[in-house]
């Protein structure tokens, strides 16, 4: 008698390409399909039922998380707490809820990478307006980043090449929506940055993101960039591997850039990109991720 196939749900955004590709792969291998939008999940703490449109998520064997919301915010942390409730019921969550909690907040990710000795852009984090202005003057140009964001949304570049008052006004405008300011020295990129893909800690491949125009300061597809194939050195693969290791994720993409002063890591993604892996590197990320999940189950 063969073991029954596992019932695996996909946490994501219904209709979005990466969510549906992962759900398609799971359905093809297991015969079961469930796409779970966390905004439609309710937790009854008395009974322990975790309901999504009549489906008790606590009865599934696993949940594979592709996306918890269209945009990151502090509310995203509350949605991850719902996944902790599923784990308490014995459901395997990929990647684990507490592991993802460490990555949704950009500051938490940065501190973990710094403590692991991973090279990153020079970074200042402060609520103090004067300190932020001084950092911009020291850097010359700085990229200001919200603590919760994806695809460079909400980021801006502030230059020291303006009057002190104009500089202060720009920083203050950013601080109105971001009381804890996170800013990095703007680094010179070689016309691309890299997405280095891992499943279960195993390196799968690399794709490059190339800006649409030569004067663009970021390479995200959201800002008009495109994906290309790229063959990294063994040293770059080793750096990305060391960067993702402290987080213990089941699937991730490490954002790396080669600069005149050596390679740096921008961040480790809580979820990783499927489209860039496929279009840029020919990697079936959904299939590779599912292989890892099934081997764990």
Section 44-62 average pLDDT: 97
Check residue 222 and give its pLDDT: 53
Which residue, among 283, 287, 285, 272, has the nearest Cα to 240 in the 3D structure?
Answer: 272
Pairing of strands 251-259, 262-268: antiparallel
pLDDT in tens, 83-138: 999 999 999 999 999 999 888 889 999 999 999 999 999 999 999 999 999 999 99
| Percent of the chain's residues with pLDDT above 90 | 80
Number of Cβ within a 10 Å radius of residue 81: 11
81-90, 165-174, 208-217, 288-297: segment of lowest average pLDDT: 208-217
**3-state secondary structure at position 72:** coil
Average pLDDT, the chain: 92
Helices then strands, counting H and E runs in the chain, come out as 9, 16
In b/e form, how buried is each residue of 229-239, taking b as 16+ CB within 10 angstroms? ebebeeebbeb
pTM of full prediction above 0.85: yes
Please state the three-class secondary structure of 115-172 as a single string. HCCCCCCCEEEECCHHHHHHHHHHHCEEEEECCCCCCCCCCEEEECCCCHHHHHHHHH
Which residues are paired to 208 by β-bridges? 194, 228
Contact predicate 23/10, CB 8 Å: yes
Section 203-227 average pLDDT: 72
Contact predicate 206/195, CB 8 Å: yes
Separation of first and last alpha carbons in the chain: 18
Upper half-sphere CA count for residue 148 (Cβ side, 13 Å): 17
Judged against a pLDDT cut of 90, whether residue 216 lies above it is answered with no
Section 40-68 average pLDDT: 96
Q: Which domains are seen in the chain, by residue range?
A: 8-94 (3.40.50.20), 123-185 (3.30.1490.20), 188-296 (3.30.470.20)
């Amino acid at each position: 008698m063969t073991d029954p196939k596992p019932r695996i749900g996909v946490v994501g955004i219904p209709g979005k390409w990466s969510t549906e590709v992962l759900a398609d792969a799971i359905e093809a291998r297991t015969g079961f399909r469930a796409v779970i939008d966390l905004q439609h999940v309710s937790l009854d703490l008395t009974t322990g039922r975790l309901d999504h449109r009549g489906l008790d998520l606590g009865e599934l064997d696993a949940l594979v998380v592709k996306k918890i919301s269209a945009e990151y915010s502090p509310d995203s942390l509350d949605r991850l707490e719902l996944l902790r409730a599923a784990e308490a019921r014995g459901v395997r969550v990929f990647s684990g809820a507490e592991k993802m909690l460490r990555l949704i907040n950009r500051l938490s990710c940065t501190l973990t990478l710094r403590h692991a000795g991973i090279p990153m852009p020079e970074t200042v984090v402060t609520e103090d307006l004067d300190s932020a202005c001084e950092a911009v003057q020291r850097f010359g140009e700085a990229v200001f980043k919200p603590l919760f964001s994806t695809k460079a949304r909400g980021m801006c570049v502030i230059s020291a090449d303006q009057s002190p008052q104009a500089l202060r006004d720009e920083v203050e405008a950013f601080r109105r929506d971001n009381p804890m300011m996170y800013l990095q020295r703007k680094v010179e990129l070689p016309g691309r940055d890299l997405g280095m893909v891992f499943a279960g800690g195993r390196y799968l491949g690399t794709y490059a993101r190339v800006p649409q125009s030569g004067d663009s300061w970021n390479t995200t597809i959201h800002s008009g960039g495109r994906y290309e194939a790229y063959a990294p050195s063994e040293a770059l693969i080793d750096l990305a591997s060391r960067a993702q290791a402290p987080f213990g994720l089941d699937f991730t993409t490490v954002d790396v850039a080669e600069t005149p002063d050596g390679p740096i890591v921008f961040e480790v993604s809580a979820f990783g990109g499927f489209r860039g892996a496929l279009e840029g590197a020919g990697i079936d990320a959904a299939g590779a991720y599912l292989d890892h999940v099934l081997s764990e189950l």
